[in-house]
Amino acid sequence: MRGGTVFGVGLGPGDPELMSVRADRLVRNARHVAFFRKAGRSGRARGIVDGMLRENAVEFAMEYPVTTEIPLSDPRYNQILSAFYSDCVAHLKALVAAGEDVVVLCEGDPFFYGSFMHLYTRLKDDVPVHVVPAITGMSAAWTATGAPVTWGDDILSVLMGTLPLAELTRGALDADALVVMKIGRNLPKIREALQAAGKMDRAWLVEYASMDGQTVMPLAEADDRVSPYFSIVIVHGQGRRP
């Protein structure tokens, strides 16, 4: 019997029309779909493809055993997540061994800070895996600002809001254009870093890029704002332009 393939399919920033033609076809034809979600939630990736799945598609929801209950620094965090990923991979491998293709729904671009990477590294030596790149959330965010993010020889850096203040500040100083991801509770620290790097007055906060509720505002006006974890901060480059 022919074995199946795992498809890691990037769904892009959230608007289903921003899925690639290939992703759209794979999702609509899938007999098996798998996706991560928080326990008790419907799942962000799954939400993007609402109304697109075959009626008889078999869904495999991979529910995170922890999110913020245990700090990242606790060794149990890695142990628990690692065991969780192994369980998910065992299920996917069994489907593939039975000759089934499985589409794993991935928010954004699978190889760019994506959860799928943890499955990919555990699958790739044993079963065929095909990865479909996608439009990143940051592309949707800078498009939403209505201004190009990089010009000429601008250096663009992508920083995680979860970084310590000193590293955020250094990263913000070193680049011309910036993307900051993983916002949420890190917003005050991100503001401090951008202030110290002299980039606060050029920073924009984008919430729900490409989705219902998309909001773009100067970061300087986001005082005391409770912004979602998946918001994105953009600082545009000022490089050469004729």
Residue among 4, 13, 14, 43 that touches a copy of itself (CB under 8 A): 13
Q: What values do phi and psi take at 179, rounded to 5? A: -125, 130
Q: Is 189 in the site for a copy of itself (CB under 8 A)?
A: no
Examine residue 76 and tell whether it contacts a copy of itself (CB under 8 A).
no
Given the complex with a copy of itself, which of 58 and 165 has the nearer CB atom? 165
Cα distance between residue 104 and residue 60, in whole Å: 9
DSSP state of 221: G
Question: Cβ closer to a copy of itself: 58 or 145?
Answer: 145
Q: From the list 56, 72, 223, 226, which residue makes contact with a copy of itself (rule: CB under 8 A)?
A: 72
Among 101, 107, 109, 207, binds a copy of itself (CB under 8 A): 109
Sole binder of a copy of itself in the list 142, 204, 208, 230 (CB under 8 A): 142
The CB-of-8 to a copy of itself minimum distance in angstroms stands at 9
Opening angle at CA 134, ends 6 and 225, nearest 5 = 120
Asked whether the beta carbons of 199 and 191 are under 8 A apart, the reply is no
| Alpha-carbon dihedral sign for residues 109, 112, 116, 121 | positive
Nearer Cβ to a copy of itself (58/202): 202
Report helix, strand or coil for 9: strand
Q: Checking phi first, is residue 43 left (phi over 0); if not, alpha (psi -120 to 50) or beta?
A: left
Site map 118..137 versus a copy of itself, x via CB under 8 A: x-xx--x------xxxxxx-
Do β-strands 215-218 and 203-207 pair in parallel, antiparallel, or remain unpaired?
antiparallel
Dihedral over Cα of 207, 210, 211, 214: its sign: positive
Contact positions vs a copy of itself (CB under 8 A): 12-13, 15-22, 24, 72, 77-79, 81-82, 85, 109-114, 117-118, 120-121, 124, 131-136, 139-140, 142-143, 146-160, 162-163, 167, 170-171, 174-175, 210, 240-242
